[in-house]
Amino acid sequence: MVADFVAKFAKLVASHPEDIKVVVDEGDEMTEVTLYANQEDIGKLIGKGGKMIGAIKTVISGCKAKDGMSYRINVEAI
């Protein structure tokens, strides 16, 4: 659910949506979501002062309240 949201959101924002890839590494207490994108899209996904990625983290924090799992999001260049 979280990975699908992150992928769809990133594809809407990115100039190269075909390069977007989301990898999920689930642990016992924390799930790490890594978003891979084209180098040109990294700035758009993070946003000025980290506001865009912060907004994504805020939305995902609602999932933590629902299922009790913590999430970490990383943005990496391809």
* Burial state string for 17-52 with b = 16 or more CB within 10 A and e = fewer than 16: eebbebeeeeeeeebebbbbbbeebbeebbeeeeeb
Structure tokens belonging to residue 77 = 């260049």
Structure tokens belonging to residue 55 = 């907004």
CATH number reported for the structural domain that contains residue 41 in this entry: 3.30.300.20
Q: Which residue has the tokens 């990496």?
A: 76
pLDDT tens digits for the chain (78 residues)? Answer: 888 999 999 999 999 999 999 999 998 888 899 999 999 999 999 999 999 999 988 888 887 767 778 888 999 998
Residue 69 three-state SS: coil
The pTM is what?
A: 0.84
CA 28/CA 35 separation, integer angstroms? 20
Q: Which domain holds residue 59?
A: 2-77
Number of domains in the chain: 1
